[in-house]
Chains A and B, each alone.
Chain A
């Protein structure tokens, strides 16, 4: 059944309609790719799903719960995690510590317990550290565990951010261009990682320009162009879709 239901979502910035009445479903346990030329509204769509941008119209439901109107943190607590096109790591923290922050999204122990170094707080920290190590191994970057984020290569930063998102124990993972900055070999590795994540029970939506990755990994593809959905279907169908080919190859003369 569908885990995520996007219905008629519209987001405007001044006179520009970045996302224009977009609707689609994401089925549980699948990987869905959102593709489209630059400026098609892919990242804005992600922002409307995660509380960073509030759409003017439409509804987004994850497992029946409305996401529109919630704060970013509350969408995380509902089970929607994301990464950013411009990675948003905590530069002063190590890779493991970055992931630990995500691990502790659902924990309750706060300031007082930490100040007094209560056993419960220390235990949560130990658990988080172990979980962070496990996730970095799952993604295959455990050798960067204790490297400060500002020293990480661009591709690894994206993977650490993905591990941090997974650490919040999401049901739905939104990845914004996870393959940018990766070598061909690393991209192949990423495909297998995404499949492992999906098989682990996390539904994935991925915005990506690397068509090789998109065609290989996704169960379904949605194509956006200038804010509108122009096609949706399995990879094989999308490759042959005339509207998609036109959007990618044809430059309209009225393009501003």
Chain B
């Protein structure tokens, strides 16, 4: 019964999300919801990596950047079709993930955090310095809208649907993984590496595959971002961005996909509170935006101290409480 109910809830949520462009006509609002989807796509991967496999990455903005610049370079410089560009973006960011993961996932805990942090910093330097490819600090403009053959997705609504379709596929793939052997292997690695090895789990392989998948999803998000906005610059792929992703994942809770998904949408909205809440005074809104990083940081600290299992854990606890009462 619980299972049917959950499937129904997911279906209703999917239909609601799909209907958003029918209700919201302002392109500006739609773009905010599209950005929420772009963040959600990254966070689905991080939910697997951090929430299931227990491996932290402080550098995922770098993979988003690799995807975005690959898309920009393929379409603008090489005049390749968008479909080729996004495949290349996914492949390159996945490959970047593999190159980083192979040596660093043999490391444990803090060392992995350090390695991903260093990689993120290194890549943000590359984005600025590799002027020939990235356009340097000025970034790259004139990136065409996503297109499939003759069909060009230029309306805000079609971009919204495109991004959220990617999110839907990512969620389905991630859900399939978590409910089968790889998902148990990830949680086993998280639970006890000693025990996982003793149970025949190839822990390096599990970590590397999960990392590569999360890097690939981040790269796809970056490529979609490039098409949606038409312009990419290094300021979008900094440590701050990476920390934002971590905040969404941690706030969402470990061992869950819906929690991080909800947190990704919520924390994206924090950036645009002034336009989402019509009555909000300008002063309050600008304060919120000034302290956005602090809000993220505070969210991480509060979750870790008060509710280590995040939104998902709080939800499960509430359900359990109601059930037993």
- The interface of chain A, by Cβ under 8 A from chain B, is 50-52, 71-73, 76-77, 81-84, 87-93, 97, 100-102, 104-107, 109-111, 114-117, 121-122, 124-125, 128, 149, 161, 164-165, 167-168
- Report whether A111 and B209 are in contact in the complex, using a CB–CB cutoff of 8 Å: yes
User: 1/0 per position for B255-293, CB-CB distance to A under 8 A?
Assistant: 100000000000000000000000000000000000000
| A61 CB → nearest B CB, Å | 20
| B73 CB → nearest A CB, Å | 28
| A123 CB → nearest B CB, Å | 11
- The interface of chain B, by Cβ under 8 A from chain A, is 173, 176-177, 180-185, 187-188, 190-192, 194-203, 209, 213, 254-255
- Report whether A73 and B200 are in contact in the complex, using a CB–CB cutoff of 8 Å: yes
CB-defined contacts of B192 to chain A, threshold 8 Å: 88-91
Enumerate 20 A-B pairs (CB-CB under 8 Å) in ascending A order. A50-B198, A73-B203, A77-B200, A88-B194, A89-B192, A90-B191, A90-B196, A91-B191, A93-B184, A93-B188, A101-B185, A101-B188, A102-B200, A107-B181, A110-B182, A117-B176, A128-B181, A161-B195, A164-B198, A165-B198
CB-defined contacts of A77 to chain B, threshold 8 Å: 200
Contacts A104-B181, A107-B181 hold; do A115 and B176 have CB atoms under 8 A apart?
yes
Contacts A101-B199, A111-B209 hold; do A52 and B181 have CB atoms under 8 A apart?
no
Q: Considering the complex, give the chain A residue whose CB is closest to the CB of B213.
A: A111
- Report whether B181 and A114 are in contact in the complex, using a CB–CB cutoff of 8 Å: yes
- Report whether A76 and B199 are in contact in the complex, using a CB–CB cutoff of 8 Å: yes
CB-defined contacts of A72 to chain B, threshold 8 Å: 194, 197-198
| A204 CB → nearest B CB, Å | 16
Per the bound structure, the CA–CA distance linking A237 and B188 in Å amounts to 43
CB-defined contacts of B201 to chain A, threshold 8 Å: 73, 101, 105
CB within 8 A of B202: which of A51, A73, A161, A168? A73
CB-defined contacts of B194 to chain A, threshold 8 Å: 52, 72, 84, 88
CB within 8 A of A97: which of B173, B184, B198, B203? B184
5 closest Cβ pairs, A-B complex: A105-B200, A88-B195, A90-B191, A114-B180, A72-B197
CB-defined contacts of A82 to chain B, threshold 8 Å: 198
| A206 CB → nearest B CB, Å | 16
| A92 CB → nearest B CB, Å | 5
CB-defined contacts of A81 to chain B, threshold 8 Å: 198
| A240 CB → nearest B CB, Å | 36
- Report whether A89 and B195 are in contact in the complex, using a CB–CB cutoff of 8 Å: yes
Per the bound structure, the CA–CA distance linking A114 and B180 in Å amounts to 6
- Report whether B197 and A90 are in contact in the complex, using a CB–CB cutoff of 8 Å: no
- Report whether B198 and A90 are in contact in the complex, using a CB–CB cutoff of 8 Å: no
CB-defined contacts of B198 to chain A, threshold 8 Å: 50, 72, 76, 81-84, 88, 164-165
Contacts A84-B194, A115-B176, A165-B198 hold; do A90 and B188 have CB atoms under 8 A apart?
yes
Per the bound structure, the CA–CA distance linking A92 and B198 in Å amounts to 17
| A160 CB → nearest B CB, Å | 11
| A135 CB → nearest B CB, Å | 13
Q: Considering the complex, give the chain A residue whose CB is closest to the CB of B197.
A: A72
Contacts A90-B191, A102-B199, A116-B176 hold; do A121 and B181 have CB atoms under 8 A apart?
yes
Per the bound structure, the CA–CA distance linking A156 and B213 in Å amounts to 36
| B210 CB → nearest A CB, Å | 9
